[in-house]
């Protein structure tokens, strides 16, 4: 995806790198869980905020790019002119790392009001990005479902775009929306120790399901399972 140079591919590539770092942080948390149990909750909180901020934000920017490309095709070149993908990539990393670090800071160094604000911002980011994804996907699906003037059949490009939008909608509804509900329950009850692991489980599942579905929409899911024949062995004398 990185070599293609296209905006959606670069945004998905950034999300894959984001998930890749998430897996390594999970491995660090696993080591802390068995070796330094007193400090493992800090790594867990860092990982939880990191995943629930950057994941929905990345998907939200991808949905916004598709929305502009389908609904406003004449204005789509302006995204590259104003460096849309660079701004999105920088925003994802700055917000996710900043709020993840502020979650694990000691309360002695942070004003209580600022700490409460930083604690609620990731939740607000998830709500705003999820709302934007739902709105953008509904508009995009309606536009893609309309038949073209040349025929009533949908061309392959529209089919791939429609499948990609459907996959993003399913991931949002099945994984990120339940996380929002669990976060709301955590703020209103004393079961944070029980809801947090399940919340992180949903975020981890989303980080695995999204790349698999993305490869499936590109029809490259089974490519890694196929062995390419060596042309030197198959060619004649």
Instruction: Give the domain ranges of the chain.
Output: 7-234
Q: Which CATH architecture has domain 7-234?
A: Up-down Bundle (1.20)
Q: Are 38 and 63 contacting, i.e. CB atoms less than 8 angstroms apart?
A: no
pLDDT of residue 91: 92
Phi, psi of 190 (to 5 degrees): -105, 25
CA distances from 73 to 66, 76, 77, 149 (A): 10, 5, 8, 17
**What is the chain's mean pLDDT, rounded?**
77
The dihedral sign for the CA sequence 196, 134, 20, 118: negative
If pLDDT is split at 50, 70 and 90, which confidence band does 32 have?
A: confident
CA distance 142 to 197: 37
Digit-coded pLDDT (tens) for 190-230: 555 667 778 888 888 888 888 887 777 766 666 655 544 44
Burial of 222 from C-beta contacts in 10 A (0-12 / 13-18 / 19+): exposed
* Per-residue model confidence as pLDDT tens digits over 46-85: 888 888 888 888 888 888 888 888 888 888 888 877 788 8
Q: Is 36 helix (H, G, I), strand (E, B) or coil?
A: coil
Answer whether residue 11 shows pLDDT above 70.
yes
Tell me the torsion sign for CA atoms 35, 38, 41, 42. Answer: negative
Whole-structure pTM value: 0.77
Q: Specify the DSSP class assigned to residue 83.
A: T
């Amino acid at each position: 995806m990185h070599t293609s140079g296209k905006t959606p591919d670069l945004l998905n590539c950034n999300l894959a790198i984001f998930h890749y770092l998430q897996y390594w942080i999970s491995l660090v948390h696993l080591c802390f869980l068995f070796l330094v149990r007193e400090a493992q909750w800090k790594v867990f909180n860092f990982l939880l905020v990191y995943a629930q901020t950057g994941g929905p934000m990345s998907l939200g920017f991808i949905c916004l790019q598709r929305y502009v490309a389908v609904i406003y095709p004449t204005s789509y070149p302006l995204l590259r002119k104003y460096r849309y993908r660079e701004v999105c990539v920088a925003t994802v990393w700055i917000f996710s790392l900043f709020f993840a670090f502020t979650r694990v800071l000691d309360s002695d160094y942070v004003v209580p009001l600022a700490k409460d604000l930083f604690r609620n911002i990731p939740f607000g980011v998830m709500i705003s990005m999820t709302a934007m994804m739902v709105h953008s996907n509904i508009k995009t699906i309606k536009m893609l479902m309309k038949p073209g003037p040349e025929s009533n059949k949908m061309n392959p490009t529209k089919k791939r775009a429609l499948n990609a939008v459907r996959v993003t909608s399913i991931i949002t509804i099945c994984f990120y929306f339940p996380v929002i509900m669990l976060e709301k329950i955590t703020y209103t009850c004393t079961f944070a120790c029980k809801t947090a692991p399940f919340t992180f489980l949903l975020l981890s599942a989303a980080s695995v399901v999204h790349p698999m579905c993305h490869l499936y929409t590109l029809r490259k899911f089974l490519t890694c399972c196929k062995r390419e024949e060596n042309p030197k062995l198959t060619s004649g004398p």
